Amino acid sequence: MSGYRASLLSILLLPALLSAQTTRVLFIGNSYTYSNDLPGMFTQLAASMGETVQTQMVAPGGYTFQGHTTYAQSQAALAQGDWDFVVLQEQSQRPAFPPEQVAQEVYPYAAQLAQQARAASPCVEVVYLMTWGRENGDAANCAFYPPLCTYEGMQQRLYESYVEMATANDGWCAPAGEVWRTHRAAFPGTGLYTDGSHPNVLGSYIAASTLASTLFRRSCATATYVPAGITAEQAQAVRTMASDVVAAPDAPWNIGVNDPVAAADLTYLDGYTVLFADNTPGAASWSWTFGDGSSSTDADPLHTYAGPGDYTVWLVVQDACARTDSLPLTVTLVNTGIGDDLLSPASTVRMVDGQLEVTAGTGGTLQLFDPVGKRLFSTMVTGGPQRISPPTGYQGVLVWQLRTFDGATRTARLHVP
C-alpha cells in the first residue's frame, strides 16, 4: 500500500484498536539513532498522539547492518521477540555508495536482519529508517563517486537504497531523509546538523515525526509534544511536513505491504438468495454485514434477502497477525414483476457452449430480462432440453423466467460471458 491505504471502515476502527494496546518498538542503528535519544523523543511524541509505546535501542557508534548481524546485544534484542516494529538504521554513508557496492555491502545484511527479526517475532513489521545526506556531501568519498560530492547527490542515493531495501524485504520505509530534504528546501536558513552529519534536536524531531506518522499510519500534525530547543512553530511545521511526505499519493514507502487485501465476489442464485465468496489471500477470519441487519462470520456465506433493493455489503477480513482490511460490495436485487414459485429443480436455464439450454418440464414460455427488469426476449419452449441463442451482443447478468403451461413459475439469474 502506498501512503494511507484504508477503507472508511478501517479508519473508523483504527483509533479504538490502537488505543487499547502498547506498541513495542526495537531500534537498531548507530549514533544517528542515539543522538538526542530518538527512541525517547518518538515515545513522547507518540504519547501526545494518544499512543502508548515501549522502546529498546541498540545503537553503538558507527555500526553497520553487517555488524549488527553478529553483535551480541543486537542479536539478543531481536531474539526477545514480541516486537511490533523493528526499526533498522544503516551507517550514514554506506547506502549512498555506488549501487553495485551497496548490493554487496548493505542489502544482504538488511535482508538478514529482517529475517532474524521475523524468526523471533513472526508478525513484526520491519521498518528501514531512511537517513539524510550530509550537509555538504561526503567529502571523504567524493573523489571515487561524484554523486557523494553534494548533499543532493548523496540524499538521492540514500533515497534509492532505502526504498530498495524496504521493497526487497517486504518492509516499510520511514522516509526521514525525504522529509529532511523537503525541510531544507522550505527553510534553507534553518540548521538541522550539529557537525554537518549528526542531527541537532530539530533534525531528530524530523526523524521522530516521520516514524510516528509511518508506524501509526496517520498524521502526527496535531500531536503536542515539542522538545526543548525548538519552537512550537518549528515543531508544527515538521509534523505537518512529515505527515504529508509519508502520506503522499503513490509514494514508494511500502507501508502496509503485509496487510491482507480484501477480495470477494458474489453470485446471484434463485429469488433473492446470494452466495458470497471471500478471495482474500491469507485471511484467517471474516466478518460479513449484509446491509439488511444480518451478518455472518463464514468465509463463504449464503444469504437470502427479504425482497428487492440495493444493499451495501461489507466484508472485514483479518489475518493471523490481526492485520485487517475491508471491502464493500453492492447487491442489487430487482423485482421484474414476475413470480417466484418454484418449478421442479429439473426445470432450468443454463449457459452451454454460448447458448441458453432450456429445460421446461411440460413446456411453456421463457422470458429474459436485464437486471433492472427490462424485457429483452420472449419465446415458447418445449418440455425437453432445447438450445436458444441469447440476445445478440448481450453480456452480463440476465434474469430469466420460466412459466409452464400448468401455471408454475421459476425465476433465477445467469451470466452471459
pLDDT in tens, the chain (417 residues): 333 333 333 433 444 444 458 999 999 999 999 999 999 999 999 999 999 999 999 999 999 999 999 999 999 999 998 999 999 999 999 999 999 999 999 999 999 999 999 999 999 999 999 999 999 999 999 999 999 999 999 999 999 999 999 999 999 999 999 999 999 999 999 999 999 999 999 999 999 999 999 999 999 999 999 999 999 999 999 999 999 999 999 999 999 999 999 999 988 877 788 889 999 999 999 999 999 999 999 999 999 999 888 999 999 999 999 999 999 999 988 765 444 444 455 677 888 888 888 887 778 888 887 765 667 888 888 877 888 888 888 887 777 788 777 767 777 777 787
Which residues on adjacent β-strands are paired with residue 356?
Answer: 351, 388
- Give the pairing type, strands 309-319 and 355-359: unpaired
Residue 125 carries which side chain, given as an amino acid letter? E
pTM: 0.76
Pair 205, 41: CB distance under 8 Å: yes
CATH superfamily of 8-246: SGNH hydrolase (3.40.50.1110)
Round to whole Å and give the CA distance between 119 and 43.
26
CATH number of 264-333: 2.60.40.10
Return the ∠ at Cα 164 (arms to 162 and 168), rounded to 5°: 125
Between the alpha carbon of residue 4 and those of residues 216, 249, 250, the distances in Å are 10, 9, 10
Tell me the one-letter amino acid at 295: S
Domain 348-416 has CATH 3.40.47.10: no
Question: What is the domain partition of the chain in residue ranges?
Answer: 8-246, 264-333, 348-416
Per CATH, 8-246 and 348-416 having the same topology is answered no
Whether 150 and 136 have beta carbons less than 8 Å apart is answered as: yes
